[in-house]
Amino acid sequence: MNATGWKEKLSAIRDSFSISAAKIPAENPEALELRFLGRKGELALLLRDLKDIPLEERKTLGALGNTVKEEMTAILTGLKAVSGAPGPAVKTDLDLTLPGWPLPKGSLHPLTVTLNRMGECFSKLGFSIAEGPLIEEDYFNFEALNFPPFHPARDMQDTFYVDLKDASGKDLLLRTHTSPVQIRTMKNQEPPVRIISPGRVFRSEAVDASHSFVFHQIEGLYIDKGVSMADLKWTLETFMKDLFGSSAKVRFMPSYFPFVEPGAEVEVSCVFCRGKSDTVRCPVCKGTGWIELLGAGVVHPNVLKACNYDPQKWSGFAFGAGIERFAMLLYGISDMRMLYENDLRILKQVH
């Protein structure tokens, strides 16, 4: 090999070293060292070849070769320090094995936990979830639910009206119950129907320990062939036992809602005193042993007709329950307002 060839070879080795040293992810510095500077490394072998080159040129080439060797050694030392291999000690306080700072974790709101628990019970019974808008038309909130115009039953639900009109020129309103989702669902699908519909509802009511102008309900609707009051009773009893335990009992008291016939208030045996408040009067059931929990009944034929379901062919039941009331019973909360005040001392108790 002549001097020019040798120089070219040195430059090629230098380039290939630079490329290998700059690779991401980095190559193992020990392997690089062995490949270029080791006893049989590329640079070491080239330096050995110097012996074939005439003396006058050998000196300058040798100096050039040594400069490249020093360069490579310096770069390798740097790489070893970064990769943590033995090399000049790099001091650091960083300990990657220390645990991280604990972050305060939030938890679900008691109403959400309650709703999830209620939803789980019904999903086991084959109910799926349906939703509807909070701003509703008179038609869905009242008319199709068999509330005739000017019927006094409309006064049972003090309504917030919105300063906007629907397509038929009537004022829009904030839904007073989740029952309009019954109509929206039936108009959208063929029977059979088996849905629950949780959500926010609004009534113009003064706030106290058991009332609020905005609260939550869960609606249930089951339409199929031959569905009766007996199915309603079994479903609600199964649901209550699942939620409150197998000793929970259910009773139906006659009641009136325009969209069901017959209609009922459903009561559950008091989960606190279990009906045994003989000596001290139970503050929750007021000593009666029963707690009123929801409205229910067999879907009125007029409601089915409004949705183009043939009442001769299909029948069903519906129920509507306040979620707040269930949350208060499940978690022993005595004042509904506690559910809206975001006091962490209350919220942290429910998981």
The residue with its CB nearest to ligand PHE is 320
316 is a site residue for ligand PHE (CB under 6 A): no
- Listed residue (33, 44, 55) closest to 9, CA to CA: 44
The answer to whether 320 contacts ligand PHE (rule: CB under 6 A) is: yes
Closer to ligand PHE by CB, 65 or 258: give it: 258
Q: For residues 5 and 304, what is the distance between their CA atoms, to the nearest angstrom?
A: 98
Q: Is 179 in the site for ligand PHE (CB under 6 A)?
A: yes
User: Which segment (106-114, 189-197, 318-326, 342-350) binds ligand PHE by CB under 6 A?
Assistant: 318-326
Pick from 297, 304, 329, 338: which binds ligand PHE (CB under 6 A)?
297
Return the bridge partners of 296, or none: 264, 319
Angle between helical axes of 55-83 and 29-36 (0-180°, round to 10):
170
Cis peptide before 191 (omega within 30 of 0): no
Considering the rule CB under 6 A, would residue 180 count as an interface residue with ligand PHE? no
Binding region for ligand PHE (CB under 6 A) out of 113-121, 131-139, 188-196, 312-320 = 312-320
Taking the complex as a whole, the smallest distance from the CB of residue 138 to ligand PHE amounts, in Å, to 15
Residue 240 has, within 13 A of its CA and on its CB side, a CA count of: 23
Q: Please pick, from the candidates 319, 323, 324, 329, the single residue that binds ligand PHE as defined by CB under 6 A.
A: 319
Tell me which residue of 264, 267, 229 sits closest to 248, measured CA to CA.
Answer: 267
Tell me how many residues contact ligand PHE (CB under 6 A).
Answer: 11
Please choose, out of 192-200, 224-232, 238-246, 314-322, the segment that lies near ligand PHE by the rule CB under 6 A. 314-322
Q: Is 285 an interacting residue with respect to ligand PHE (CB under 6 A)?
A: no
Q: What share of the chain is helix, strand, coil (3-state, %, to 5)?
A: 40, 20, 40
**Cα–Cα distance, 205 to 263 (Å, whole number):** 24
Q: Which tokens is 32 given?
A: 């690089």
Query: Which one of residues 65, 132, 258, 295 is an interface residue with ligand PHE (CB under 6 A)?
Result: 295
Residue 188: CB minimum distance to ligand PHE, A: 18
CB of 20 within 8 A of CB of 32? Answer: yes
Nearer to ligand PHE among residue 260 and residue 282 (C-beta) = 260
Identified binder of ligand PHE from the candidate list 236, 266, 318, 329, rule CB under 6 A = 318
CB of 161 to ligand PHE, least distance (A): 18
Q: Is 6 in the site for ligand PHE (CB under 6 A)?
A: no
CB-count burial class (<10 Å; 0-12, 13-18, 19+) for 288: middle
User: From CA 351, how far away is CA 348, in angstroms rounded?
Assistant: 7
Q: Decide if residue 132 touches ligand PHE (CB under 6 A).
A: no
- Which residue bears the tokens 């090399």? 87
266 binds ligand PHE (CB under 6 A): no
The distance of closest approach from Cβ of residue 265 to ligand PHE in the complex, given in angstroms and rounded to an integer, is 9
Which residue lies nearer to ligand PHE by CB, 68 or 260? Answer: 260
Q: State residue 299 phi and psi, 5-degree precision.
A: -55, 130
Question: 38 vs 133, which CB is nearer to ligand PHE?
Answer: 133
CB of 212 to ligand PHE, least distance (A): 14
d(CA 192, CA 231): 14
Least spacing, CB of residue 297 vs ligand PHE, in Å: 5
Please say whether the dihedral angle defined by the alpha carbons of residues 74, 76, 82 and 88, taken in this order, is positive or negative. Answer: negative
The yes or no reply on residue 260 touching ligand PHE (CB under 6 A) is: yes
Q: Which is nearer to ligand PHE, 41 or 180 (CB)?
A: 180
State the sign of the Cα–Cα–Cα–Cα dihedral 329, 333, 338, 339. negative
- Contact residues for ligand PHE, defined by CB under 6 A: 177, 179, 257, 260, 263, 295-297, 318-320
